[in-house]
Amino acid sequence: MNEKDKVPYVVTSKSHTAVAINCAAKAGEWIQSKLGTVKQLGTKSSAQDLVTEVDKGAEQMIRKLILTHFPDHAILGEEGVEPGPEALTKALEAVKDEPYVWIIDPIDGTTNYVHGFPFYSVSIALAYQGEVILGVIYDPSRDELFIAEKGKGAYVHGNPTAVSKDNDLSESLLATGFPTEHSFNLPNNMAGIQALLPKVRNLRGGGSAALHMAYVAAGRLSGYWELGLNPWDIAAGALLIQESGGKVTDTKGRPYDLSVRNIAATNGKIHEGLLNTLSEAEATGY
């Protein structure tokens, strides 16, 4: 047999979901074992946008595992893309004709991780022809694994998740994230907070977009919005919420897709109220 005719060995027996779970669990366990040991703190787009050797190591670990099983799949990972919207547009363009694209955030909530504030997660999604078909979010601090498969529902620890039943903003617990981009997104976010706080039960800012979205899916938060995010912060959580009966759009109410950066995610019932309040306050980030 010629060298060039040799077909590399490919493990074919595992499902996408099993690989995603394995990646999230392995990376999560490793991240947790490194908690409190970070030596070198790097910054990306701004002084508040942190990256560590643990983010990079975890992403490498996940990439390797995915490619062992699916060598022809594309991967869009946070640590593989330069910060900023232009680099993201290019990265999305580069994978747009790939049938399967894995979208990974090795640590969503790096600031929390660095400070030992136990609210961070590993987020892994798989898109087929541009549509998210699988989402896994793992919270290693609580050992909680959230899983969603398109059309098959969403689960935490094997139990189906469902969004909250709150009908009105007044009985809602919302979450948001505070932007690292201070000239445009920050004033917009502040205007949104100012308008929403008097209308809702209360507001939280936990610091992990993916985990906030998992919490909306699980009914622990009624809704969540944030400006200036990236696809790896949102993709897995968006499917979790949709499969739990909730609604995910951009902050102007347009359907969610991988390019959406300003996200509104709710139990569905309060969606219009959230969007209307953001719009009236000119706080949509558009």
Residue in 140, 207, 237, 246 binding ligand 2AM, rule: CB under 6 A: 207
Residue in 23, 229, 248, 260 binding ligand 2AM, rule: CB under 6 A: 229
- Which stretch in 1-9, 108-116, 137-145, 236-244 sits in contact with ligand 2AM by CB under 6 A? 108-116
Give the C-alpha separation, 270 to 174, whole Å.
10
Residue in 59, 105, 139, 243 binding Ca ion, rule: CB under 5 A: 105
Angle made by CA atoms 24, 30, 35, in degrees to the nearest 5:
120
Residue in 135, 223, 228, 245 binding ligand 2AM, rule: CB under 6 A: 228
- With CB cut-offs between 5 and 8 Å by kind, which of ligand 2AM, Ca ion, none does residue 139 bind? none
- With CB cut-offs between 5 and 8 Å by kind, which of Ca ion, ligand 2AM, none does residue 140 bind? none
107 tagged catalytic: yes
Terminus-to-terminus CA distance in the chain, angstroms? 59
Q: How big is the site for ligand 2AM, counted in residues (CB under 6 A)? A: 19
79 binds Ca ion (CB under 5 A): no
Give the per-residue contact string, 73-92, with ligand 2AM (x = CB under 6 A; - = no): -----x----x---------
Q: How many residues does the chain have?
A: 286
- With CB cut-offs between 5 and 8 Å by kind, which of ligand 2AM, Ca ion, none does residue 228 bind? ligand 2AM
User: Could you count the other beta carbons within 10 Å of the beta carbon of residue 57?
Assistant: 16
Residue in 19, 63, 73, 105 binding ligand 2AM, rule: CB under 6 A: 105
DSSP string, 4-40: GGPPPP---SS-HHHHHHHHHHHHHHHHHHTTT----
Give the C-alpha separation, 102 to 216, whole Å.
23
Cite the beta strand spans of the chain per DSSP E: 41-43, 50-52, 74-77, 100-108, 121-128, 131-139, 144-149, 153-156, 159-160, 173-176, 202-204, 223-226, 247-250, 263-266
DSSP string, 218-241: TTSSSEEEESS--HHHHHHHHHHH
233 tagged catalytic: yes
- Which stretch in 93-101, 106-114, 195-203, 271-279 sits in contact with Ca ion by CB under 5 A? 106-114
78 tagged catalytic: yes
230 binds ligand 2AM (CB under 6 A): yes
Going by the DSSP 8-state scheme, the letter that residue 86 receives in this structure is H
177 binds ligand 2AM (CB under 6 A): yes
- Which stretch in 56-64, 133-141, 152-160, 172-180 sits in contact with ligand 2AM by CB under 6 A? 172-180
What is the phi/psi pair of residue 196, to 5°? -85, -35
Tell me whether residue 69 or residue 234 sits nearer to ligand 2AM (CB atom). 234
Rg (CA), the chain: 19
108 tagged catalytic: yes
The maximal CA–CA distance of the chain, rounded, in angstroms, is 73
280 tagged catalytic: no
Q: Would strands 173-176 and 223-226 be described as parallel, antiparallel, or unpaired?
A: parallel
Q: Does residue 269 sit in helix, strand or coil?
A: coil
Please give the residue ranges that form the binding site for Ca ion (CB under 5 A).
78, 105, 107
Please give the residue ranges that form the binding site for ligand 2AM (CB under 6 A).
45, 49, 78, 83, 105, 108-110, 177-178, 180, 207-209, 226, 228-230, 233
Active-site residue numbers?
A: 78, 105, 107-108, 110, 233
